[in-house]
């Protein structure tokens, strides 16, 4: 691990990334918990309800007034799926100390405020208040229904649920509508207590400087809790090849069909192991230079879009496309044919070089926002080495065609999911 990472207390670490490009400092508290059907919906609700009110700021008006006093500090929250873990993120962004006339550190004040929101929520009789619960449940249900309405997202989620049926990775990161509806104030309180006691925690600071004794104050707050059974944040079972390719189809009242293919990869793990998969996946179905775009979409006109993506740490590669139902099987055949071309190394030097350049440019984009940098490191917690986007760019430039071919040869079809119009034939 990098010497930038500081162990604070049992299962809590701090990371400071110096970056003076912005006039603000970003402070995030990242909680890693196991993905579980029993807890996923409750956990996903926690970051949002904790950053909406607290004992000190019981309503939005009081909270917003405090943020304004912190020169317009901004709060945000999210729930992510990370390997076989659920990542709960709460972040505040505040103007740097040198731009204020206050004698006290504004960055420290913002961190204290966020810690107060996390540790002293708006609870009564060991339960979150009914008003707060109903508000956040309504938002969560709207989000879940919104993903279901977006058929491209829905189809990809359905592939994952089928491909990892019975495994943690197959669980939706926010749970289901029925799971959210069942959440009570008491149950959410128990989830909050469990988060503080058992989550692996990383506190990240992105800015030009770190206030004196910043991490010491964070460590003191967490040391007040009896921390136990700390989550192994490296939980991530690799994707096993399918003994037999599974095909699942579903019919809906839609105009355009959705086709999603899931593949296992023999090359998986952190950046020191799996970077060739990133290049392989991009040449296969990344930008407008990719095999799937130029051949399956443009030359053969078999789909409206056709793109590949990967979750390298999991050993997962997906291809999703929008198709007419008459072209679904032809599209599958064409996609698999392009994969065989990748395995034979018959992609061009132009495709290889274009992919390297495109990925390097994309990695530089992480520096466009503090949230981008913050999320980068939050999602790299399982890496044996703490690599920056610039470090990965240098590593990518060393990858060869032979590395890409080797990565492609380990990719195997696992599951096919078809979302088709009602009027189409049974597949």
Q: Quick: pLDDT tens for 116-143.
A: 999 999 999 999 999 999 999 999 999 9
Q: Are residues 306 and 360 in the same domain?
A: yes
Determine the Cα–Cα distance for residues 128 and 220; give it in Å rounded to an integer.
25
Determine the Cα–Cα distance for residues 195 and 118; give it in Å rounded to an integer.
10
Please report, for the domain that includes residue 410, its CATH number.
Answer: 3.30.830.10
Q: Are residues 150 and 12 in the same domain?
A: yes
Q: Are residues 164 and 301 in the same domain?
A: no
User: Would residue 426 count as lying in a domain?
Assistant: no
Q: Are residues 137 and 273 in the same domain?
A: no
pLDDT at 299: 96
Instruction: Please choose, from the candidates 247, 426, 419, 424, the residue with its C-alpha nearest in 3D space to the C-alpha of residue 326.
Output: 424
Question: The whole model's pTM is what?
Answer: 0.94
pLDDT at 103: 63
Quick check: helix, strand or coil at residue 174? coil
Q: Are residues 199 and 294 in the same domain?
A: no
Domain boundary among 169, 189, 223: 223
Angle at 314 between CA 417 and CA 42, to 5 degrees: 80
Instruction: Please choose, from the candidates 12, 17, 9, the residue with its C-alpha nearest in 3D space to the C-alpha of residue 207.
Output: 17
User: Would residue 121 count as lying in a domain?
Assistant: yes
State the number of CA atoms in the 13 A half-sphere of 100 facing the CB.
18
Q: Quick: pLDDT tens for 215-243.
A: 999 999 999 999 999 999 988 999 999 99
Q: Are residues 73 and 157 in the same domain?
A: yes
Per-residue CA distances from 199 to 28, 187, 424 (Å): 15, 17, 47
Q: Are residues 285 and 402 in the same domain?
A: yes
Q: Are residues 314 and 398 in the same domain?
A: yes
387 DSSP β-pair partners: none
Pairing of strands 12-18, 200-207: parallel
pLDDT at 1: 37
Q: Are residues 54 and 175 in the same domain?
A: yes
Phi, psi of 417 (to 5 degrees): -120, 130
Provide the residue range defining the domain that includes 291.
Answer: 246-421
User: Would residue 236 count as lying in a domain?
Assistant: no
pLDDT at 4: 84
User: Would residue 238 count as lying in a domain?
Assistant: no
Q: Are residues 395 and 270 in the same domain?
A: yes
Starting at the edge strand found earlier in the chain, the sheet holding 74-82 runs 5-9, 12-18, 200-207, 24-34, 85-95, 74-82
Judged on CB neighbours under 10 Å (0-12, 13-18, 19+), 122 is: buried
User: Would residue 251 count as lying in a domain?
Assistant: yes
Domain boundary among 188, 223, 258: 223
pLDDT at 2: 43
User: Would residue 230 count as lying in a domain?
Assistant: no
The structural domain count of the chain equals 2
Q: Are residues 207 and 344 in the same domain?
A: no
Residues of the chain with pLDDT under 70: 1-3, 103, 424-427
Long-range CB contacts (< 8 A, 24+ apart) of 141-150?
A: 141/177, 141/180, 141/181, 143/174, 144/172, 144/174, 144/175, 144/176, 144/177, 144/180, 145/177
User: Would residue 233 count as lying in a domain?
Assistant: no
User: Would residue 145 count as lying in a domain?
Assistant: yes
Domain boundary among 191, 223, 255: 223
Q: Are residues 183 and 261 in the same domain?
A: no
pLDDT at 101: 73
């Amino acid at each position: 691990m990098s010497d930038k990472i500081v162990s604070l207390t049992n299962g809590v670490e701090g990371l400071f990334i110096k970056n003076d490009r912005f006039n603000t400092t970003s402070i995030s508290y990242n909680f890693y918990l196991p993905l579980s059907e029993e807890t996923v919906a409750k956990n996903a609700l926690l970051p949002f309800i904790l950053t909406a009110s607290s004992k000190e700021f019981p309503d939005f008006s009081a909270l917003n007034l405090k943020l304004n006093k912190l020169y317009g500090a901004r709060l945000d929250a999210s729930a992510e799926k990370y390997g076989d873990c659920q990542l709960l993120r709460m972040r505040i962004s505040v103007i740097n100390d040198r731009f204020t006339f206050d004698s006290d550190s504004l960055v420290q004040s913002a961190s204290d405020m966020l810690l107060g929101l996390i540790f002293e929520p708006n609870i009564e009789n060991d339960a979150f208040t009914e008003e707060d619960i109903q508000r956040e449940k309504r938002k969560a249900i709207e989000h879940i229904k919104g993903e279901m309405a977006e058929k491209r997202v829905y189809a990809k989620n359905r592939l994952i649920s089928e491909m990892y049926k019975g495994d943690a990775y197959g669980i939706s990161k926010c749970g289901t509508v029925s799971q959210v509806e069942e959440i009570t104030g008491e149950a959410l309180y128990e989830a909050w207590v469990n988060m503080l006691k058992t989550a692996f925690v990383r506190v990240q600071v992105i800015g030009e400087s770190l206030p004196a004794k910043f991490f010491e104050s964070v460590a003191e707050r967490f040391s007040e809790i009896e921390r136990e059974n700390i989550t192994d944040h490296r939980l991530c079972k690799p994707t096993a090849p399918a003994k037999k390719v599974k095909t699942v189809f579903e019919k809906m009242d839609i105009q355009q069909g959705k086709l999603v293919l899931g593949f296992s990869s023999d090359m998986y793990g952190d950046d020191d192991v799996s970077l060739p998969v990133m290049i392989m996946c991009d040449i296969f179905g990344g930008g407008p230079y990719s095999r799937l775009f130029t051949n399956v979409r443009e030359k053969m006109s078999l789909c409206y879009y056709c793109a590949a993506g990967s979750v390298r740490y999991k050993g997962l590669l997906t291809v999703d496309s929008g198709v007419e139902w008459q072209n679904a099987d032809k599209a599958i055949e064409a996609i698999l044919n392009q994969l065989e071309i990748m395995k034979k190394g018959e992609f061009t030097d132009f495709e290889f070089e274009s992919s390297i350049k495109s990925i390097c440019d994309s990695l530089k984009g992480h520096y466009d926002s503090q949230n981008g940098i913050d999320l980068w490191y939050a999602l790299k917690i399982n890496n044996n080495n703490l690599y920056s986007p610039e470090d990965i760019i240098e590593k990518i430039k060393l990858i060869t065609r032979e590395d890409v071919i080797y990565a492609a040869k380990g990719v195997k079809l696992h599951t096919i999911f078809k979302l088709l119009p009602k009027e189409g034939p049974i597949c």
